Structure 1
Amino acid sequence: MRILHVLDHGLPLQSGYTFRTRAILTAQMAQGWDVAAVTGMRQGSAADAAETIDGIAFHRTGPGPLPGLPGEIAALAARVGAVADRFRPDVIHAHSPVIGALASLHAARRRGLPLVYEIRAFWEDAAVGNGTGREGSLRYRATRALETWAARRADHVAVICEGLRGDLIARGIDPARVLVSPNGVDLGLFGAPLPRDAGLAADLSLGDEVVGFIGSFYDYEGLDDLIAAMPALVAARPAAQLLLVGGGPMEAALRAQAAASPVADRIRFVGRVPHAEVERYYSLVDVLAYPRKRMRLTDLVTPLKPLEAMAQRKLVAASDVGGHRELIEDGRTGTLFAADDPAAAARALAALLADRSRWDERRARAEAFVREQRNWSSNIRRYQPVYQRLALAAEGNRTWSRIPSLQH
């Protein structure tokens, strides 16, 4: 089986998007499949080029001759086509945003190749979550319509969670054409959790009741609610501290909010840290907190970070948005609290910190859930029957054109 993946961006850039991509492609190669990837202009490549990172062959897309989004799609379509002509894939697997699907549709149809379109989040909702769009705006509606158009024309659609699948079905996409390939963890990347780094804890003046967040500081992550919860948490648990590792658009505002807090001395920011150092900071944290705000993005999409925390045998506490409810069983594998409610977050965290007798049991259940149900080495098998069916159909009829062309 030969699969050509089409990506917005990939390694060596680091994000939840690239970590999921690396896990999928690495697991597919371990299965014995031939895999290659094309990244779009947002990778930042100065020219069409190729490089191998972590054993994965990446083909970069340089700047196109046309400006704006049409130029971006045209450049990516040309690059996908050129790589497909050399690599000769059985299937083209495009990953969101929809730019990749549009470029890949053109390349796939011209070559009689089947297309799988994988949606990790709807582009219009991601823009709202990142603060670059407004729900219900003309741009939002146009992007939503384009996403639906692409999903209708792909030969199969993959999504990362049931929330996205349900939304697509509500838009009229045939349920039989929508595969759920949930977020997972490459357990091969995680060894035994590091023991507490006492030297780093001393450098940061951290005690033994640490709530932490390690990731990107976007508004939808709800870190302002976590900071707002700290006075009540410290009142209930005087030793409690908050460790924030990472950065992003909200960093300046969050630092200002923390500085004005009556418990400012209990909140630590350390900024971004090298990926190789992240496990040292995980070792300091007792409870990883994910206080995401309630909106379409967080209700529909499951995040990766809580699964990684569970894989490292860390306690997890999260808001009760839909994406978290797909991952966390309240009271068994983690703790859920009301979204957008700092008081509820404080109560949940205080109760969790007070009940150390159940920590080991909960950590073990959470790790077992990831190992048994969210392990990439088994998750990638979900793609196999879809790939095989589509490839056989295309091989049997190279003029195969069940899906309308781009001109329709």
Structure 2
Amino acid sequence: MEISDLRIALFSGNYNYTRDGANQALNRLVGSLLEKGAKVRVYSPTVEKPAFEPTGELIGTPSIGMPFGRGEYRIPTGLGSRAKRDLARFKPNIVHVSSPDPSGHAALRWAQDHDVPVLASVHTRFETYPRYYKLGFLEPLVVKMLRRFYNRCDALVAPSQSMIDELLAQKMHDDIGLWSRGVDRTIFAPEKRDLEWRRSLGLADDDVAIVFLGRLVMEKGLDVFAETIVQMRKRQVPHKVLVIGDGPARGWFEEALPGGIFAGFKTGGELGQALASGDVFFNPSITETFGNVTLEAMACGLPVVAAGATGASSLVHDGETGRLVPPGDAAAYAEAIAPYCTDHALRAEHGEAGAARACEYSWDAINQVVADTYVRLVEDRHALQAAEAAELAA
């Protein structure tokens, strides 16, 4: 079977209405598949003014606004009649679900009813979210629900070996492949550093800027980041804070980081410029399965201090490209960051090593893994169907 024989139905909870690392990876995947001749249809909630144009043909699915101050995101509520009619016409031979939401569950049921194999991609650690909203007691229940969903799929792909190990330990599935992430070196590179841009924000050339990049939501570890900066100030370590991004928790973060520089949301070349213009990247989040922002910071030549959790632990070489720290330990984070603020040679050495490591991540090779997995699952299903037909005929 060739990749051009694939008819892929991809289900996403957020394909293009709000920009994030997961949907950037999905759009790149679809672009790669279309270039190889595959047929792809994407099913996802849509809005009047999405963050960017979708790659491929997008069919809208029903959704409602997310509560708790997170209205920028939509909760899919199922497939809807339009998507069901389109699926009947499209006749996919593989279904890809990227989120265990109601539409993902409905897509899984549709695939099982039509004897179509299902690949699930894991993009975030949903089971960790409750702890950021004082609902940590729900975590075992979320793990149980995820296990039921993923074990009904034919295979999984995850973006880091550390995440694969976690999924195996949680008994989510026993067929899990590595679908890593790439980085665009035309956007993220050390030479994108811009001293004039820094100066426009009030950063002197010799200031060491500790960078946060991402959606400003509590599950990104904003509380730990802020407490770490408090620890840095108590130790009188010279530094500045540069926050790149926006989100519903921006007000809280600004109050928690007096004197911090908030550059706002950036994308494309402006994002590469802003990130490369920092000096140390600090990522305390434990919700990522990979950590696109970590790889982008490495590509820009920044040493990375990150939580020793899924994602970062597969990217950061402790003591070579940055430091890995026990999650949640603000004092340990401050201790790890401090040498980078005072030792230019160390900062440059680890930043250069990170930039070299980032060169290993090629989107073409990475997306080929997913295409090969699709082909394997379809061929396996065809072989099973043939064996069952032969048994009935015997």
Calculate the TM-score normalised by the size of structure 1.
Answer: 0.78
Rate the CA distance shift 1:15–1:268 in 2: closer, same or farther, 3 A: same
Using the alignment, how far apart are the partners of 1:172 and 1:230 within structure 2? 37
- Residues 385 and 288 of structure 1: is their aligned pair in 2 closer, same or farther, counting only changes over 3 Å? same
User: Aligned partners of 2:41 and 2:354: how far apart in 1?
Assistant: 33
Q: In structure 2, how many angstroms separate the alpha carbons of the residues matched to 1:325 and 1:12?
A: 30
CA distance in 2: counterparts of 1:93 and 1:86, whole angstroms:
17
On the 8 A contact 1:74/1:103 being kept in 2, the answer is: no
Mapping 1:95-106, distance limit 5 Å: 95-106=98-109
Per-residue CA deviations over 1:222-244 (Å, capped at 9, x if unaligned) read 33343334465457676521111
Aligned equivalents of 1:244 and 1:146: distance in 2?
Answer: 35
State how 1:83-162 maps to structure 2 within 5 Å.
83-129=86-132, 131=133, 134-137=135-138, 140-162=139-161
Given residue 5 of structure 1, which amino acid in structure 2 is its aligned partner? L
Instruction: Tell me whether 1:53 sits opposite 2:46 in the alignment.
Output: no
Task: Give the CA deviation at 1:333.
Answer: 1.8
Q: Tell me, yes or no, if the aligned pair for 1:94 and 1:115 is still in contact at 8 Å.
A: yes
Q: Distance in 1 between matches of 2:185 and 2:90?
A: 28
Whole-Å Cα distance in 1 between the matches of residues 187 and 93 of structure 2? Answer: 32
Contact 1:77 1:106 in 2 (8 A): no
Structure 2 match to 1:201: 198
Superposed, 1:243-282 pairs within 5 Å as 243-259=242-258, 264=259, 267-273=260-266, 277-282=270-275
Cα separation, 2, equivalents of 1:86 and 1:148: 31
Instruction: Return the letter of the residue paired with 2:158.
Output: V
Deviation string, structure 1 residues 90-115 (Cα, Å, up to 9, x no partner): 21111113434311122212332111
Question: For the residues of structure 2 that align with 1:44 and 1:12, how far apart are their CA atoms?
Answer: 6
Partner secondary structure for residue 242 of structure 1: strand
Spell out the pairing of 1:6-405 with structure 2 (5 A cutoff): 6-40=11-45, 43-44=46-47, 53=53, 55-62=55-62, 75-76=78-79, 78-129=81-132, 131=133, 134-137=135-138, 140-175=139-174, 177-182=175-180, 184-187=181-184, 190=187, 192-207=189-204, 208=206, 209-230=208-229, 233=232, 239-259=238-258, 264=259, 267-273=260-266, 277-292=270-285, 297=287, 301-372=289-360, 374-396=361-383
Tell me: CA distance 1:101–1:398, structure 2 relative to 1, closer, same or farther (3 Å).
Answer: farther
- Over 3 Å counting, the alpha-carbon distance change for 1:23 and 1:386 in structure 2 is same
Q: Which runs of 5+ in 2 are unaligned?
A: 1-5, 65-74, 389-394
CA, structure 1 residues 277+168, in 2 after alignment: closer, same or farther (shift >3 Å)?
A: closer
CA distance in 1, matches of 2:224, 2:63: 41
Report the equivalent of 1:69: none
Length, aligned pairs only:
370
Contact 1:5 1:36 in 2 (8 A): yes
* CA spacing shift, 1:330–1:63, aligned 2, 3 Å: closer
Question: 1:76, 1:103 within 8 Å by CA — same for their partners in 2?
Answer: yes
Structure 2 distance, partners of 1:229, 1:171, is 30
- 8 Å CA contact 1:335–1:348 kept in 2: the answer is yes
| Structure 1 segments unaligned to the other structure (5+ residues) | 47-51, 65-71, 402-408
Match of 1:68 in 2: none
Among the aligned pairs, what percent are the same residue? 20
Secondary structure class of the residue paired with 2:137: coil
Q: CA deviation at 1:56?
A: 2.1
What is the RMSD of the two structures over their aligned residues, measured on CA atoms? 3.3
Distance (Å, rounded) in 2 between the aligned partners of 1:273 and 1:32: 33
